[in-house]
Amino acid sequence: MTKNSKSVTAVGTVVVTILLIIITSSFYQTLEFSDGWERGALGYKRGGLLSGFISERQLFANSRLNVNVWHGFNSIVLKTPFPLKDYDILFDSTVGNGSYFYVFLTEKTGYSIGLRISRNNTYPPIFFVSDLEGKFIVKKNIDYKFSEESKIRIKLTKSEVLLYSNNELYGVITVPEKFLKDNVRFSFKGGPDEIGDVYIDNFKISKKNILVFDDNFSSVHSWKSLSIGFLLLSFFLLVFYFVSISSTLYFGGLIIFLTIGFYIDHDFIAPRYFDLTNVFINFHERHKEIIAKDLDTILAEEGINKRHKSKKMVCFIGGSKTLGVGANRESDTWFKQVERYMNSDKSLASKYSMKNLGVAASSSQNMKDYYQKIIKSLQPQIVVFLVGINDHNKDEQLSTNISSFTKYNDNNGIRTILIPELMHYNIIYNTIPYSVEVLRSIANKYDSVDSWSFVSEFMKSETYDSGLLWSDWIHFSSYGQSVFAQNLWNRLQPELLINR
């Protein structure tokens, strides 16, 4: 190849490569750098657990907002609050059959008025008022059949909310007086992603026909993806220029590399725990470091807190659900609520203390790295495991590890309670978590071990649609934590009374 022809080929390669990178980066449209929106309901977090939804590339579909992606139940909030009167809120919605989503107006105390816009018979359209935990304190069905594509208008007057769909008035709601006193924040919250997508577009807020805010959710590219793209461009151009390879091999390799990069970003970067370096670090080794730090903290706290030494201890072990991630604040977590239930009974409070040993993202395999060490140090009378989700349907792994823990406990006179973790799709599809049978079979081998499942309690319709139970697809909201705490305490209290 002559020098001139090689230069022409190089220019052509640059052009085609740039086009490929632009196409690939279009998959990475995000709200990460939006001036108007922020991630809603981050809530209590510990152990580095953060939400990836606001920067997740799945957020958009054809330059629309999709609130049902990233496993569902996501929320985004307008950064700027506004008074709840004389405003019009307009947006286009596309709601698949069986899907639904929520619209909120939240005042500063955390109370909200909202709508469920739905094409789901089980969870129909409603107007509601929810408390700061997410429990519905007012709930009214809306007798209206939404079409797949609707132009939604919410007109706020001095004392009422007027609801329109495709220019048809379908509801007039009297606004509770407390919402008229302060500014409110607007937010969307998605439903479960398994049912279908929900798209929002052409969002506008106006006051007396003067536009205050608008967003058509057009393409906003993540700087991360563009940076990765141009690094790839530089690398492949160097390879092409200095190494004699064919154009077919070059572009084939580039497409494969971009595709792999797309999924690497999905599995390792975009989710909650990782930065770019984690692509090249073995997860288990990295997690052992996190566990070691948390373990040192727990043991240091225990050394300081001498009051535990004269009491029987109840330890709770698991992952982020054990920590209570998803609650608005630490005091809302199910663990803190159960602890308050116990402390309200003076006879139990004088005999027992409780310790939360949850480590974010911990599986039964990770627990092997610290279980016996921490149990030997703390010497609890009762150990409660919440497990299943982070073992990712690996029945043999879960069975082997939990069996070893329960055998150790049984040999050392420790009472063990196994609780399979519940996920939102167990409710939606009326399915039993795979871990129920695994844990039940282990419990049947020992007199000192029980398996408690709370699936039936959550599957009751009066419970499931009594408020917003989920902060995301795995974690309970503050209200969900309250429901779980009450059900857990109903079973744990008799256990403590027997053992005291």
Q: What is the tens place of the pLDDT at every residue in 125-149?
A: 999 999 989 999 999 999 999 999 9
Quick one: which of 139, 144, 118, 136 has its CA closest to 127?
139
First to last CA, the chain: 87
Higher-confidence position of 32 and 115 = 115
What is the average per-residue pLDDT within 428-445? 84
Helix 3-25 to helix 223-242 angle (10° resolution) is 160
For residue 203, give the amino acid letter.
F
d(CA 107, CA 375) in angstroms, rounded, equals 45
Please give the average per-residue pLDDT across 330-356, as a whole number.
Answer: 95
- Strand ranges inside 159-240, DSSP E: 160-165, 168-174, 183-190, 198-207, 210-215
Confidence of residue 382 (pLDDT cuts 50, 70, 90): very high
Over residues 326-340, mean pLDDT: 93
Cα-Cα-Cα-Cα dihedral of 296, 352, 418, 44, to 10°?
-60
Residue 6: band (very low, low, confident or very high) from pLDDT cuts 50, 70, 90: low
**pLDDT score of 276:** 31
User: Tens digit of pLDDT for each residue in 176-202?
Assistant: 877 767 788 999 999 887 777 899 999
Beta carbons within 8 Å of 329's beta carbon, 6+ residues apart: 43, 44, 478
User: What is the rounded distance in angstroms from the CA atom of residue 369 to the CA atom of residue 373?
Assistant: 8
pLDDT-derived band at 66, boundaries 50, 70, 90: confident
Whether 464 shows a pLDDT value over 60: the answer reads yes
127 touches 140 (CB < 8 A): yes
274 vs 85, more confident = 85
Read off the pLDDT band of 37 (50, 70, 90): confident
The candidate with the shortest Cα–Cα distance to 497, out of 356, 355, 382, is 382
**pLDDT range class, residue 373, cuts 50, 70, 90:** confident
pLDDT of residue 232 exceeding 70, the answer is: no
- Decide: pTM greater than 0.85: no
Confidence of residue 253 (pLDDT cuts 50, 70, 90): low
pLDDT over 90 percentage in the chain: 38
Max CA pair span of the chain: 91
Contact status, residue 441 vs residue 399, Cβ threshold 8 Å: yes
- Residue 100 has a pLDDT of 94
β 382-387/415-420 pair status: parallel
Residue 165 confidence (pLDDT): 95
Q: Which of 202, 98, 194, 114 is closest to 150 using CA atoms? A: 202
The pLDDT of residue 284 is above 50: no
Comparing 471 with 25, the larger pLDDT belongs to 471
Provide DSSP, 352-387: EEEEE---TT--HHHHTTTHHHHHHHH--SEEEEEE
| Per-residue pLDDT at 491 exceeds 90 | yes
- The two counts, helices (H) then strands (E), for the chain are 15, 20
Average pLDDT estimate for 163-178: 89
Q: Are 240 and 13 in contact (CB under 8 A)?
A: yes
Q: What six digits make up the tokens of 326?
A: 């998803």
Q: Measured between alpha carbons, how far is 309 from 378 in angstroms, rounded to an integer?
A: 9
The percent of residues in the chain predicted with pLDDT above 70, rounded, is: 68
- In which band, very low, low, confident or very high, does the pLDDT at 393 lie, cut at 50, 70 and 90? confident
406: pLDDT strictly greater than 80: yes
pLDDT at 13: 66
Of 114-128, 175-189, 405-419, 486-500, which gets the smallest average pLDDT? 175-189
Mean pLDDT of 277-290: 42
Is pLDDT above 80 for 335? yes
How would residue 473 be classed by pLDDT, with cut points 50, 70 and 90? confident
449-451, strands of its sheet edge to edge: 352-356, 312-318, 382-387, 415-420, 449-451
Instruction: Tell which residue, 264, 288, 290, has the closest CA to residue 275.
Output: 264
Q: Are 476 and 327 in contact (CB under 8 A)?
A: yes
pLDDT band for position 212 (cuts 50, 70, 90) = very high
304 pLDDT higher than 90: no
Average pLDDT over residues 257-261: 54
Strands 126-130 and 149-156, how do they pair? unpaired
Position 466 pLDDT exceeds 70: yes
285 has pLDDT over 60: no
In this structure, what token pair is assigned to residue 20? 């490929």
Cα 164 to Cα 176: distance, rounded to the nearest angstrom:
20
Average pLDDT of the chain, as a whole number: 79
Phi, psi torsion values for 175, nearest 5 degrees: -85, 130
Q: How far is CA 476 from the centre of its chain?
A: 8
DSSP 38-82: EE-------TT----GGG-GGGBSSSSEETT-TTS--EEEESS-E
For residues 236 and 427, which has the higher predicted lDDT (pLDDT)?
Answer: 427
Which tops the pLDDT comparison, 109 or 398? 398
Task: Determine the 3-state secondary structure of 23 from DSSP.
Answer: helix
State the Cα torsion 114-117-122-127 to the nearest 10°. Answer: 30
Which amino acid appears at position 274 of this protein?
F
C-alpha distance from residue 24 to each of 48, 220, 232, 274 (Å) = 29, 13, 12, 21
The model's confidence at residue 234, banded by pLDDT at 50, 70 and 90, is: low
Q: When comparing pLDDT for 416 and 184, which is higher?
A: 416
Handedness of CA 346, 348, 351, 355 (dihedral sign): negative
> In this structure, how many other beta carbons lie within 10 angstroms of the beta carbon of residue 9?
15
Lowest mean pLDDT among 42-56, 236-250, 332-346: 42-56
Distances (CA, A) of 136 to 111, 206, 220, 365, 457: 10, 29, 35, 39, 18
Choice among 2-16, 97-111, 408-422, 465-479 with the minimum mean pLDDT: 2-16
**70-95 pLDDT, tens digit each:** 677 888 899 989 887 889 999 999 99
- How far, in Å, CA of 364 to CA of 373, rounded? 15
Q: Which domains does the chain have, with CATH numbers?
A: 3-26+221-280 (no CATH), 30-215 (2.60.120.200), 283-499 (3.40.50.1110)
pLDDT at 159: 83
